[in-house]
Amino acid sequence: MADNKKQEKDFTKEVDALLPEAEALAKSGKVQEALDKILAQEKLTRNAADLSSTTRLAKAAVQHCYDARDYPLLNSTILLLSKKHGQLKAVIQSFVELVITWLPEVKKRDGEERWLELLDTLRTVTEGKIFLETPRARVTLLLSKHHEEQVLSGKAKDPKEALQTASDLLSDLQVETYSSMERREKTEFILEQMRLLIKVARSKDAEKGKKDSKDALGGGEAEWVKVRVGGRKVNEEFLKEEENEDLKLKYYEMMIQYALQHDAYLDAAKYYEKVWETPSIKKDDEIRGRAALEHIVYYVVLAPYDNEQSNMLHHLHANPALTKLELQANLVKCFVTEELMRWPGIEAMYGKVLKQTPVFSVEKRWEDLHTRVIEHNIRVVSKYYTRITLARLASLLDLSTKQTEEILSRLVVSGTIWARIDRPAGIIDFRKPRNTEDVMNDWSSDMQKLLSLVEKTWMGMNAAQAAQSRIAAAKTKA
């Protein structure tokens, strides 16, 4: 197959004369005779590298088979034309694209069996051919959807296997490398790959039951990893364009599912923020916009404390849009204010409303919120106290001493705070020991500040004396 060969002869006149004759034979029921005449002429035009004439003949051959509804002959003709020695790439591409346009009609009129046979033929012809990568992707997508429809309609003998097949068919396509496919279509394919992977992952997770370990590739974890890989293939800048809003919302919906699967609350909050920034969502501030903003609040406060989480929380607190959500705004204010939050009070104020939301209807997330309140309180105590007894800290946190020690130890290990526990004495020390270098650096810094103040004072006194001297001289002259 090569298109670089120079055309040796123009067979336009011969083809113009042959096609009506072949069409008449086909209409009279002599399809094979019509094909023989076309294929004989096609050999001449192909060897002479007459692209236009070869294309017309190839398309006429498959058209006559299709019009006669002779699908075995159609499939064999497609395979024959694609395997001809020296066949031009553009010729194969032209009749493959023509046949693809017939697929919806074939399925509707002649049934799924004929449709699947034709689909299989097209996949065979397009396999391994870079110039047919886009048609192959489109045909594969149709086959993948067919397997999924079998599951949804209950016709599949083994629903799990059918769903896995649908996912594998699309996952085998590396559409991000296709130069002939438009960016939007590429994105649609990647999102479809991600959607099916999530569906398979959830099916496997449900079969496995509770996830014992998220680090081991058990259940649907292998599929979740592929979802994350697929997400990295999507250009988020492209999604910001107004005409791609539908793709943007689909993408972030799936990334939110991925984040929540791994309890990555801060990532979920970021994805909801991207959704909330979408113009159509912002306009619908009473329903979709409000819901997105609420979810940002919930997942930010659920996220473990670090610089990024703290920064996002403070930006959210300063957001004017949050004033419309009184309860959520108050919840954020509690976390940005360096004051103790008593859990019984938080539970009484927010528990009834929050537990009715999809976020906190999951018991684990309500427990995580309790943990975040405790961690916030420990950070506040570490700022106001240098030393405190374990019993006193436990009473402030409304916890047992054992629970207090466990959570405090976890915060120390993560580097959130510095603390040392004297267990025999039951005393917690929040003061970090300072070495001589730290003391000298502080002393040096204090001395520089002192000298700077002395210098400013001296310059101010000189300026005042100079001003008084000028006033006195002016009075003397007067």
> CA nearest 338: which of 361, 365, 310?
310
Average pLDDT over residues 308-326: 92
Identify the pLDDT of residue 450: 84
Question: For residue 216, what pLDDT band results from cuts at 50, 70 and 90?
Answer: very low
Q: DSSP readout, 212-270?
A: S-SSS--TTHHHHHHHHHHHHHS-HHHHTSGGGHHHHHHHHHHHHHHHHHTT-HHHHHH
| 7 DSSP assignment | P
| Of the listed ranges 52-61, 90-99, 213-222, 447-456, the one predicted with least confidence | 213-222
Question: For residue 10, what pLDDT band results from cuts at 50, 70 and 90?
Answer: confident
Identify the pLDDT of residue 443: 74
Q: What distance in Å separates the CA atoms of residue 355 and residue 290, rounded to the nearest whole number?
A: 18
Question: For residue 196, what pLDDT band results from cuts at 50, 70 and 90?
Answer: very high
Cβ(211)–Cβ(219) below 8 Å: yes
Q: Note the pLDDT tens digit of each residue in 54-108.
A: 999 999 999 999 999 999 999 999 999 999 988 899 999 999 999 999 999 999 9
Q: Note the pLDDT tens digit of each residue in 400-410.
A: 888 888 989 98
Helices (H) and strands (E) in the chain, counts: 22, 3
The CA distances from residue 361 to 198, 353, 364, in Å, are 22, 10, 9
Q: What distance in Å separates the CA atoms of residue 106 and residue 116, rounded to the nearest whole number?
A: 10
> CA nearest 293: which of 222, 361, 357?
357
Cβ(421)–Cβ(466) below 8 Å: no
Identify the pLDDT of residue 3: 64
Question: For residue 218, what pLDDT band results from cuts at 50, 70 and 90?
Answer: low
Residue 246 has pLDDT above 80, yes or no: yes
Tokens of residue 270, six digits: 């970021």
The helix (run of H) or strand (run of E) holding residue 390 is helix 390-397
Average pLDDT over residues 194-206: 92
Tokens of residue 359, six digits: 């976020």
Whole-number average pLDDT of the chain? 89
Residue 215 has pLDDT above 50, yes or no: no
φ/ψ of 428, rounded to 5, equals -110, 130
Identify the pLDDT of residue 217: 54
Reported pTM: 0.83
Cβ(84)–Cβ(46) below 8 Å: yes
CB atoms inside a 10 Å sphere around CB 200: 23
| Those residues with Cβ within 8 angstroms of residue 58's Cβ, 6 or more apart along the chain or in another chain | 42, 81, 91, 92, 94, 95
Average pLDDT over residues 187-209: 91
Report CA dihedral (40, 42, 45, 50) to the nearest 10 degrees: 170
Report CA dihedral (248, 250, 256, 257) to the nearest 10 degrees: -160
CA atoms within 13 A on the CB side of 316: 32
Residue 225 has pLDDT above 60, yes or no: yes
The CA distances from residue 5 to 80, 96, 270, 404, in Å, are 21, 22, 55, 81
State what percent of residues in the chain have pLDDT above 90: 59
Q: Any bridge partners for residue 389, and if so which? A: 427
Residue 453 has pLDDT above 80, yes or no: yes
**386-452: CATH topology:** Arc Repressor Mutant, subunit A (1.10.10)
The CA distances from residue 405 to 120, 133, 412, in Å, are 64, 60, 10
Tokens of residue 69, six digits: 């509804």
Identify the pLDDT of residue 40: 92
| Of the listed ranges 77-86, 259-268, 343-352, 441-450, the one predicted with least confidence | 441-450
CB atoms inside a 10 Å sphere around CB 302: 21
> CA nearest 93: which of 14, 171, 3, 20?
3
Tokens of residue 37, six digits: 């005449």
Residue 213 has pLDDT above 60, yes or no: no
| 175 DSSP assignment | G
Cβ(122)–Cβ(96) below 8 Å: yes
Question: For residue 431, what pLDDT band results from cuts at 50, 70 and 90?
Answer: confident
Tokens of residue 251, six digits: 């993408």
Q: What distance in Å separates the CA atoms of residue 171 and residue 190, rounded to the nearest whole number?
A: 9
CA atoms within 13 A on the CB side of 279: 7
More confident residue, 1 or 111: 111
Q: What distance in Å separates the CA atoms of residue 425 and residue 228, rounded to the nearest whole number?
A: 49
**SS3 call for 445:** helix
